[in-house]
Copies of this chain bind each other. A is one copy, B any other.
């Protein structure tokens, strides 16, 4: 099943089902995705029936337009983002000049992000200043059902209901300071943005294996291909990440857990964020050539199958703009 939310001006959007070819859509039998997630046992059969009717040409459809979409889940009970690609974390330690993270190979690191104001796949990204070091971070994430406190990784993985693709917008000049406070990212993390379509693990087929996505993430910055890393290299699987989040708290249905920036040790894969590109330049050439984003810059991200065909999440394509004096 492939789900999206139309931006109808409400906080939770209007849930639709999207056809496998991404061309058609039909209203879902639940009005919002959060409502469906909160009552998944009842909601899922009706959604599956509607999805089958859509694929069989038996549903009343309209053209699917990702420009009308909000994030699949426009707000969530919690947004917990890990750093599960160790290659990214190691490069960021060098970029920030911070000491090595304790137990980084064995205990996931994870920050709590704002979960109340996600951006849709074509929304402009209003930010106050280029001097903040505007950067993108290409990632994947999962949306879970209720997870009890103390769930095991296997139990946690069984609670995954949907998989999403996202851009965890970051402000590096602010992040460097916030990492040093120990209190984590806050000003450094403005609203996160999402590709239009959330996909059930079942619909991912062989691209979903043992709690990891076996997909490539193609990242283009102002039309220049800067990264094609594979998500299969994730050093913790999503079950481990969710269980880490649920160690001392229960998770409500709709909680979103992210992978952190997709990153491969093989430098031929490029990078899904600028901070990594800059660090690799420094390590390779002794100096940094690339600056962060300017207002008007665009970044496009799309998951791809190993053969290069577009993945199931649709395109995430945004432009950075200067926020008004009060946006």
Contacts and interface: CB of A to CB of B under 8 A. Distances in A.
Interface of A: 75, 77-78, 80, 83, 96, 98-99, 101-104, 107, 109-117, 126-128, 132, 148-151, 155, 171, 174, 177-191, 244-245, 247-250, 252, 255, 323, 325-327
Contacts of A113: 112
A70 to B, nearest CB: 15
9 A-B pairs with least C-beta separation: A184-B184, A179-B182, A77-B116, A148-B326, A111-B183, A149-B327, A112-B112, A190-B248, A109-B181
A155 B325 CA distance: 13
A83 B183 contact: yes
Nearest to A179: B182
6 contacts: A80-B186, A148-B326, A150-B327, A155-B326, A183-B185, A250-B327
B102 A177 contact: yes
A57 to B, nearest CB: 39
A236 to B, nearest CB: 14
A255 B116 CA distance: 10
Contact of A247 (B111, B128, B326): B128
A15 to B, nearest CB: 19
Contacts of A183: 83, 109-111, 179, 184-185
A150 B322 CA distance: 12
Contacts of A117: 77, 249-250, 252
A149 to B, nearest CB: 4
Contact of A102 (B107, B181, B252): B181
A179 B178 CA distance: 11
Contact of A101 (B115, B155, B180, B255): B180
Contacts of A181: 101-102, 104, 109
B190 A249 contact: yes
Contacts of A102: 177, 180-181
B174 A248 contact: yes
Nearest to A102: B180
Contacts of A190: 248-249
Contacts of A249: 114, 117, 190-191
A2 to B, nearest CB: 26
Contacts of A96: 182
Given A179-B183, A191-B249, 11 more contacts: A102-B177, A102-B181, A109-B181, A112-B114, A116-B252, A117-B249, A117-B250, A151-B326, A155-B326, A186-B245, A188-B248
Contacts of A101: 180-182
A184 B107 CA distance: 14
Contacts of A184: 111-112, 182-186
Contacts of A174: 247-248
Given A184-B183, A186-B112, A248-B171, A103 B177 contact: yes
